[in-house]
């Protein structure tokens, strides 16, 4: 039989572990399963080769995928990180629409760095 004092401490520890593993399973894994990094890479190639129609296509794909995972990221990363990512996405989209390679590549690099921070928390 368990000591009542042990049960008093054991229940909260089990509860915390359940929450931790639930967050990992329900939030972090679906985020890692998106193909955003693959689209970042394809977009970078399109920009370097100045294939702006392809770059616009990948921009649309990135925005759609971001909309699907944004709330999951927000739960873990917070409003400032999400805002930084969206600001960089907006600047990236503008650079692609204006067909400006250097600013587009710079913003894409920023987006990739922020994304890596999101998936390593």
- Is the domain of 61 the same as that of 16? no
Per-residue pLDDT tens for 77-95?
A: 788 989 999 999 999 999 9
- Is the domain of 26 the same as that of 52? no
- The confidence band for 53, taking pLDDT boundaries of 50, 70 and 90, is very high
- Is the domain of 27 the same as that of 39? no
For the chain, the domain total comes to: 2
- Is the domain of 29 the same as that of 41? no
Please give the residue range of the domain that contains residue 3. Answer: 1-33
Tell me the pTM: 0.76
Instruction: Please compute Rg for the chain using Cα positions.
Output: 20
- Is the domain of 68 the same as that of 20? no
Distance, CA of 37 to chain centre? 9
pLDDT at residue number 71? 81
SS (H, E, C) 49-108: CCCHHHHHHHHHHHHHHHHHHHHHHHHHHCHHHHHHHHHHHHHHHHHHHCCCHHHHHHHH
- Is the domain of 44 the same as that of 27? no
Furthest-apart CA pair in the chain: how many Å?
72
- Judge whether residue 3 has pLDDT over 80: no
Distances in Å between the Cα of 45 and the Cα atoms of 94, 100, 104, 121 are 17, 14, 11, 28
- Is the domain of 95 the same as that of 67? yes
């Amino acid at each position: 039989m368990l000591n009542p004092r042990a049960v008093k401490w054991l229940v909260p520890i089990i509860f915390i572990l359940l929450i931790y593993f639930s967050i990992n399973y329900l939030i972090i894994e679906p985020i890692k399963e998106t193909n955003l990094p693959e689209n970042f890479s394809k977009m970078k190639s399109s920009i370097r080769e100045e294939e702006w129609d392809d770059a616009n296509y990948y921009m649309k794909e990135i925005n759609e995928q971001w909309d699907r995972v944004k709330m999951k990221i927000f739960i873990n990363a917070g409003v400032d990180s999400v805002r930084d990512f969206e600001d960089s996405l907006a600047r990236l989209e503008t650079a692609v629409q204006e067909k400006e390679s250097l600013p587009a590549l710079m913003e894409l690099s920023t987006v990739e760095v922020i994304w890596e921070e999101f998936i390593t928390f």
